Structure 1
């Protein structure tokens, strides 16, 4: 058992309160359990309790064992002098405030429903790699609760991504166009190369690219040069196109005093299909920056999936249609629809939500998330485990919600914070 289970039990009062009394026999009436404290100090603040004939307003501290009070050093911490009740699973020791006064203790072990405790242990104590710990109990969970929890997880996931973009926006002096550039650059890494793409954006300021956006050759020279792909090799020694990019990059690098290019070894090729090789993605990013003069405005105003797909379909130069890497020929496909959908999911939607927060228009959040309903569902092993037990999975909104549910709740066993887990624990459980 973990301490957060007792937090849950106390917060929602899911225990038998018949003849409730302290370990010393003093009657307890819970008038208000208090509010969960996320900062240092006691677990619940502003609790209102009646102990015997006296009403108390103060804090409640929760431990598995009463002796944890001393183990955590609370007996010498004045922040805990406001505790009026020590709630524990097992009362194995008296505890006192810094002035020596005794703190009343309530032991919950005999008051928690055995069925609830059993289900809790089945949920959170299963050994890995169980993907969905609540699977054996899902039949007792109404569909509406499943749906609401997936939607809640989806909004949390989108808000988390938006929060990262808001922080990025602040570091870029509140420039939405620069924020969009950095976000798109990182997203073109498609997980395997997200970090080097993000570093590339820092090594190649947008204001430099803006000055040369009209010239595809110069845009490619800046991007491939700063990415570290223009050094002379045996494959490129006789390659006129790459040699031309190298010369252009050298001139522009000195002109703008650009930082040192990324080392080529930082780019990941392992277990990637050629269509996902970094040079291919760099060429696609270069084509987009060359063809689309106003990234942010276009992504903010696009009203449909078709418009967004058209936005991202910027044709690459002839050389990069025929080369997977500098000096290595091969026919290269255009940016695929699945890749575009990932860019919409990971950039466009959170970018719109971040902007909605900045201008105080919550209605834009709903319309941004609604874009995900226009995209088809994603497919991977984690999502398959949810569809097998009956979760709806029709659109990208469902996919993102299920991914958030799995990674944010199921895998870390945060069942107590999940509406589905809470429903399972409460079934056939009553509190007096």
Structure 2
């Protein structure tokens, strides 16, 4: 038995609500079960009940065992002083408020049907990839679309926490935050952390001042990454090395530990050398990138703004001191799509939230223009009947799998609740 099931039972009144009695054999009538809270404090806020002839208004706390009250140290927390009812599955101890008055107890086990228990057990019994995979096609379109929208914004809220932390680190400099976020996502999964460290190690004020000369930006990025620590006779390499040493001394840039960038298993176009050179070119071409990106509303406008290729040296190099066939190496549309999903949409959302603006519909429409992401999770959902047609839908389904399915949070999921409500045999 888990608390999330008890929350579900209480929240949706999936138990016999007539002739309820407390453990003290007093008649209990539920007028309002309360508002479900998922943050700290009692589980249900502003409930209204009648015990005996006395009407009570306050909070309801739910536990598997009544002794969990003390296991969670609620007796020390004033937030629980206004609990008017303790709902439990098993009553194994008496619970008192701080003023030593006893809290009334309802033992829910005595009022829940065998059918409800069976449905819950079937939903949470391990099967294959996710618990409800065979029933996904039974979810009606209205529930599916509304849940996808909720999941999408939950995902944006989570991503925004990282952006808000960067804002604090950069003294509320949105241009600096964008630079750091872009750098991280230019590194993709393999080099994302290393690129993040590189961007954080270079004061953005220096990027601003040196942005008019691409070689200086390359020197800063390559030098900070450690890619200039080798010994080559290549003229361009040596020039960047001299520039880097000069800039470090000029701006007194501290040398931080940076993870070693990885080339292994990358296609040449994704080599860290190419991605860093593209990032340098992007900031050399656009001195006020944040102000240009923040209001873009379509993929075409982003493609146009981010249409950049690295400096001439990298047109025929993938590595220092090793010439290759000429190739422009512009940012591809598929790579820009990743930047839209992981950088532009999140930073637009975070910025609008701080500014008190609502752009929810605009963000959904924007992301619906982006092709669906391709990965094992999206393919698996498609095999069970939930096909994603755009990046808005793939982002939602990734959030579902990672934050609900993987955590077995079926009773916080609209799909799980819908299946239980309809009493589908899972």
Mark yes or no: TM-score above 0.5.
yes
How far has the Cα of 1:72 moved from its partner? 4.2
2:174 maps to which residue? 176
1:64 maps to which residue? 64
2:350 maps to which of 350, 354, 368: 354
- Return closer, same or farther for 1:98/1:253 CA change in 2, 3 Å cut-off: closer
1:325 maps to which residue? 319
After TM superposition, the structure 1 = structure 2 runs for residues 208-223 of structure 1, keeping only pairs within 5 Å, are 208-223=206-221
CA displacement, residues 141-172 of structure 1 (integer Å, 9 cap, x when unaligned): 21211121112111221233234323323432
Q: Which whole-Å CA distance do the structure 1 matches of 2:416 and 2:335 have between them? A: 34
1:268 maps to which residue? 262
Q: Secondary structure at the match of 1:47?
A: strand
2:280 maps to which residue? 286
2:337 maps to which residue? 341
Q: Which whole-Å CA distance do the structure 1 matches of 2:299 and 2:316 have between them? A: 29
2:85 maps to which residue? 85
CA displacement, residues 324-345 of structure 1 (integer Å, 9 cap, x when unaligned): 2222344464332211100011
Q: Higher relative contact order by CA 8 Å / sep ≥ 6: 1 or 2?
A: 1
1:118 maps to which residue? 118
Q: Which whole-Å CA distance do the structure 2 matches of 1:262 and 1:68 have between them? A: 45
After TM superposition, the structure 1 stretch with the greater mean CA deviation from structure 2, 420-429 or 376-385, is 420-429
Q: Which whole-Å CA distance do the structure 2 matches of 1:385 and 1:32 have between them? A: 41
Q: Which whole-Å CA distance do the structure 1 matches of 2:69 and 2:135 have between them? A: 35
1:229 maps to which residue? 227
**1:250 equivalent in alignment to 2:245:** yes
Q: Secondary structure at the match of 2:188?
A: coil
Q: Which whole-Å CA distance do the structure 1 matches of 2:356 and 2:39 have between them? A: 28
Q: Which whole-Å CA distance do the structure 2 matches of 1:342 and 1:115 have between them? A: 46
After TM superposition, the structure 1 = structure 2 runs for residues 384-423 of structure 1, keeping only pairs within 5 Å, are 384-423=379-418
Q: Which whole-Å CA distance do the structure 1 matches of 2:314 and 2:76 have between them? A: 68
1:316 maps to which of 297, 310, 319: 310
Q: Which whole-Å CA distance do the structure 1 matches of 2:26 and 2:242 have between them? A: 86
Contact 1:226 1:262 in 2 (8 A): no
Q: Which whole-Å CA distance do the structure 1 matches of 2:220 and 2:137 have between them? A: 57
1:206 maps to which of 204, 207, 211: 204
- Return closer, same or farther for 1:297/1:138 CA change in 2, 3 Å cut-off: same
- Return closer, same or farther for 1:285/1:91 CA change in 2, 3 Å cut-off: same
After TM superposition, the structure 1 stretch with the greater mean CA deviation from structure 2, 100-109 or 412-421, is 100-109
Q: Which whole-Å CA distance do the structure 2 matches of 1:177 and 1:223 have between them? A: 17
TM-score scaled to structure 1, two decimals? 0.89
Q: Which whole-Å CA distance do the structure 2 matches of 1:400 and 1:50 have between them? A: 45
CA displacement, residues 71-105 of structure 1 (integer Å, 9 cap, x when unaligned): 44556766655433221112344444455544332
After TM superposition, the structure 1 = structure 2 runs for residues 186-197 of structure 1, keeping only pairs within 5 Å, are 186-197=184-195
Contact 1:228 1:262 in 2 (8 A): no
CA displacement, residues 98-120 of structure 1 (integer Å, 9 cap, x when unaligned): 55544332111232233332232
Q: Which whole-Å CA distance do the structure 2 matches of 1:292 and 1:147 have between them? A: 38
TM-score scaled to structure 2, two decimals? 0.91
After TM superposition, the structure 1 stretch with the greater mean CA deviation from structure 2, 76-85 or 131-140, is 76-85
1:149 maps to which residue? 147
CA displacement, residues 364-423 of structure 1 (integer Å, 9 cap, x when unaligned): 332233211111111111001111222241111111111111112111112111111111
Structure 2's unaligned 5+ residue stretches are none
Contact 1:204 1:222 in 2 (8 A): yes
How far has the Cα of 1:179 moved from its partner? 2.0
Q: Which whole-Å CA distance do the structure 2 matches of 1:73 and 1:223 have between them? A: 50
Contact 1:352 1:365 in 2 (8 A): no
**1:277 equivalent in alignment to 2:275:** no
